């Protein structure tokens, strides 16, 4: 009976990790889609380079908004290109490393 409960716990943990991976993929797609929409909007509305990051930041929510408040402190003139790299780095790495960490705990 003990073996069955250990196996069940492992299976549940694996299912949770699969759900987290699916969530990670969705969040990466959402982030990529959001960046593409911002870039398209900037082009269509002829937004000046020095306004892009501030304008995009108005649409950040939750942990992304909190991250941005800390990110922008003491920085002036952050380019859109640098911002895109930084937000991808922050959220892709954060989500991906958490899933890997959880998976490694299974072993």
- Each residue of 7-26: pLDDT tens digit? 456 566 656 655 655 554 55
CA angle 44, 41, 93 (to 5 degrees): 145
Say how far apart CA 40 and CA 35 lie, in whole Å.
9
Q: At what angle do helices 80-106 and 49-57 cross, to 10 degrees?
A: 40
Between the two ends of the chain, the Cα-to-Cα distance in Å is 21
Number of structural domains (the chain) is 1
Domain span holding position 29: 2-106
Q: What is the pLDDT of residue 9?
A: 67
Q: What is the pLDDT of residue 107?
A: 46
Q: What is the pLDDT of residue 53?
A: 93
Q: Comparing C-alpha atoms, which of 6, 37, 82 is closest to residue 14?
A: 6
Tell me the pLDDT band of 89, cut-offs 50, 70 and 90: confident
- 91 with 9: CB under 8 angstroms? no
Question: What is the average pLDDT score of the chain?
Answer: 74
Say how far apart CA 57 and CA 90 lie, in whole Å.
15
């Amino acid at each position: 009976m003990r073996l069955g409960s250990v196996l069940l716990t492992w299976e549940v943990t694996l299912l949770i990790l699969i759900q987290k991976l699916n969530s990670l993929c969705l969040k990466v797609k959402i982030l990529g889609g959001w960046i593409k929409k911002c870039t398209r909007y900037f082009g269509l509305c002829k937004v000046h380079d020095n306004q892009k990051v501030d304008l995009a930041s108005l649409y950040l929510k939750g942990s992304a908004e909190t991250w941005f408040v800390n990110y922008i402190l003491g920085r002036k003139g952050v380019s859109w290109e640098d911002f895109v790299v930084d937000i991808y780095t922050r959220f892709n790495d954060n989500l991906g490393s958490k899933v890997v960490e959880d998976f490694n705990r299974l072993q």
